[in-house]
Structure 1
Amino acid sequence: MNSRAIEDERVAAQAAARGKPLALAFREPSVRAAMIAIFFFGFSGAATAPYQSVVGIRELGLANGVYAALILLSAAVNVVVSVAVGMLADRLGRTRSLMIATSAFGVVGAALIYLVPSQASFVVSGLVFSPVYGAVNGLLFATVRVATDRLDGDAAGAVNSTVRAALSLSWVLVPGLTALALTGRASMLPAYLISALAALVLLLVIVVMLPREARGAAREIGAAVPDRSALSSILSAGVALRMIALALVCSALHVNGAVLPLIVTGAAEGTVADIGIVVGIVAALEVVFIFVWTRIQRRINSVRALVAGTVLYAIYLALLGLSTAPWHVYALTLLSGFAAAALISIPITYLQDLMRGRPGLGSSLISVNFFMSGGICAAIFAFGTHVTTYGGTSVIGGAAALLGGAMLFALDGRRGAPDV
């Protein structure tokens, strides 16, 4: 193919990504496979996440402290594995074989808990199989990044957001379907069977649908990786500062997850059922509004769009903190869903741009960001609940997010992408 034809294809792809990213996602074989795989990745997680503490503590008898330590260590292992696997993917110049291997961990880990329910199997799965399986998320987005590398930042971001919507869709559908399937059962362990089957489908999607990387293309990608140390790249001042800023922004989502149930059943005088309904409404709205934000990013750059979403989410958290009746919380679902859609989709491309030329490492930063933002949330929750109420903690969480948004705007608001 001559250079003019290649350029024409690139321009056409960018136009398609901006106008109809969903159409481009289904047209590109690797992006199509990654999007379907990400749906089943979310499926496997959403099947067990609502019941994980119930199974671990109530059914298998883990102590609260042991369970808390397990969750923390599992997240830490996931960060280490994700970065290591991302670095390996960049060095090899391919991700398919690594995704097959990490997906298999998901099948074995969930099946182990279902077939051999014990404290030992739960701990081994949480410390080994689940964290390694989690690395497949970054590898899938790395695959999308490689496939959209010929697009400009806004077009690539639109495709990333579309793929992220598939993950959100699984969280809209699966918890309710799983609850329906397990209604009347004395044990929640069958949720892990559902998770194992979903992970198996993910594995089959990768094996059957994801195209093999051409050897020449793999070598070219691997050769394009800069020679400087990957870890030194992450720890450089410019990258570290931006990671902190983005973690402050994304911590708002974790703060909401911590305080929303407590405010709904406390100051707002609602019920446990209200929590589930509100979360379900917001998740459904996120799927819709992700596509709205892809259009907004075309009018203003991605960083400014993320900052705008951050401001709106901070307003939501402040209003949530002032809620005194169930209808107050329901009235905020539109604002929450709209703002959250920006915070769950736009950061993916921003993180990948921090490691240009390293799609595996850049996508592994998704796990790093999740861990950092969760840690910031823990600090905010501990401080906020010590000095004020759950509502006040919500306001503090919004203020922290605004700080992160201001940092991002100062660093990259003019350019629209990180310059490191």
Structure 2
Amino acid sequence: MFFSGVTYAATMPYASLVGVDTLGMSPGWFATVMAAGSILGTLVSLTLGYISDKLPDRRLLVLATALAGIIAHGMIYVWPTQLSFMIAMALVMPVAGACYGQCFAYVRVYYVTHDPKRADFMVTALRMVFTLAWIVVPPLAGWIAAEFDIFNVYLASSLSYAAVAAIFALLMADKATAVQMPPPVRAEGASLLSTFALPLGTLAGLAGLVVMTAAMRILTFTVPLFIVGDLGGTVTDVGFYAGITAAIEAPCMLLLAYLTTRWTKETLLAAAGLVMAAFIGIASILTSMAAFYWLLLLNGLGTAALMSVNIPYVQDAIKGRVGLSTSLMDVVAIAANLLGATAFGLLTTGGNYRFALMVGAGVAVVGAAIMAFGNMSRLGELRTAEAT
């Protein structure tokens, strides 16, 4: 999970700087490439999620997706052109992007099989390990990008995917780590589709997650350019922004782990959307890096909730289908990437990054509202039956 975190932490803060500033793509073309990858990634993720619940050994999918990551980001490093960036991000990374979700699906199934009482705890703990990579890597990657070559961040990601592949290859040598969930039992007379059913409240929650995460994507794509262009910062500041946010996330996740025993996940996620809206909205009117750094307290709290509470929320979506449910994390992320990249392309065509952030704040509010109004009966404190 740490190396999986490195693959994101080394590259995501710099994607728009590489595509737009370094390779010379227009914001609109960059957004189109990212959107195309998102569309394909949605289909790939659902397919792999369904397959993972059928395969006798789900570790094979983690290995395959990690190999795709080696190829995609290795291609950008070895062949740094607009064409390689387009091929990697639109065609290969949709497969590699499923590695994150399939790792969590494997962890969930392993602990449900061997130690069910620890399953939720271990998923949360490993999400914190993922976050540790975001504390360590972005400042280091920012320094390397500024002092040497920005494409080195893709080398770091490719090597990290190689580490994930090596770890799972070693796991496959141990038969005890081969686990799988039994298929869900279909009620007598019920159709096959009934085993894939999603309640309306869950559908609303997933839609709200997509919209709130899209606001975060608008932030992710816009803020590096905003820091460099509007706040007078540097590429190194971009790395510190990501690292500081992650450092705040880690203790916030501990707080959220406690709050999930008191409040429903829907309540926490809707509140997270409002916190993100406050951060993005206030950031859009700032004029100095110093003030921006102080504001990262809000960013860390909101991001921690949307990136940790969402995991058990999504994994419970389709009963008895952990792999397919977990793949919905990828679907949410990919759909959000599609919306966020499209919005980024439209909103920043004239180079107005402040306006893009203002719209991002509004999008976060809309997502929180969808989550809240679609789950009114689920808002508030946990009921006794749920808590036990």
Per-residue deviation at 1:46?
2.7
Per-residue deviation at 1:342?
1.0
Determine the structure 2 residue equivalent to 1:172: 135
Determine the structure 2 residue equivalent to 1:280: 243
Determine the structure 2 residue equivalent to 1:402: 368
Matched residue type, 2:292? V
Per-residue deviation at 1:371?
2.6
Counterpart CA distance in 1 for 2:146 and 2:54 is: 47
Match of 2:270 among 285, 294, 307: 307
Determine the structure 2 residue equivalent to 1:223: 183
Counterpart CA distance in 1 for 2:40 and 2:363 is: 26
Matched residue type, 2:243? G
Contact 1:48 1:195 in 2 (8 A): yes
* 2:162 counterpart of 1:200: yes
Contact 2:276 2:298 in 1 (8 A): yes
Contact 1:245 1:407 in 2 (8 A): no
* 2:24 counterpart of 1:67: no
Determine the structure 2 residue equivalent to 1:4: none
Counterpart CA distance in 1 for 2:31 and 2:336 is: 17
Matched residue type, 2:192? R
RMSD: 3.8
Matched residue type, 2:63? I
* 2:300 counterpart of 1:337: yes
Per-residue deviation at 1:339?
2.6
TM-score by length of 1: 0.74
* 2:219 counterpart of 1:256: yes
Which structure has more RCO (C-alpha within 8 Å, separation ≥ 6)?
2
Match of 1:371 among 334, 338, 347: 334
The one-character-per-residue Cα deviations of 1:220-258 (angstroms, maximum 9, x if unpaired) are x24337572499646x75543332122233334234335
The one-character-per-residue Cα deviations of 1:392-415 (angstroms, maximum 9, x if unpaired) are 435423421331342354153369
Contact 1:138 1:367 in 2 (8 A): yes
Counterpart CA distance in 2 for 1:249 and 1:410 is: 18
Contact 1:141 1:363 in 2 (8 A): yes
Matched residue type, 1:109? A
Per-residue deviation at 1:284?
1.1
Per-residue deviation at 1:90?
0.9
Per-residue deviation at 1:350?
0.7
Percent of residue pairs bearing the same amino acid type: 26
- Going by fraction, where is helix more abundant, 1 or 2? 1
Distance change in 2, residues 1:411/1:265 (3 Å):
farther
Matched residue type, 1:191? V
Distance change in 2, residues 1:368/1:66 (3 Å):
same
* 2:71 counterpart of 1:108: yes
What SS does the aligned partner of 1:91 have? coil
Matched residue type, 1:69? T
Which residues of structure 1 form unaligned runs of 5+? 1-37
Counterpart CA distance in 1 for 2:30 and 2:107 is: 35
Please identify, of 79-88 and 156-165, the stretch whose mean Cα deviation from structure 2 is larger.
156-165
Distance change in 2, residues 1:121/1:151 (3 Å):
same
Contact 2:73 2:155 in 1 (8 A): yes
Per-residue deviation at 1:55?
4.7
Determine the structure 2 residue equivalent to 1:39: 2
Distance change in 2, residues 1:179/1:252 (3 Å):
closer
Matched residue type, 1:228? L
Distance change in 2, residues 1:228/1:212 (3 Å):
farther
What SS does the aligned partner of 1:178 have? helix
Distance change in 2, residues 1:395/1:110 (3 Å):
closer
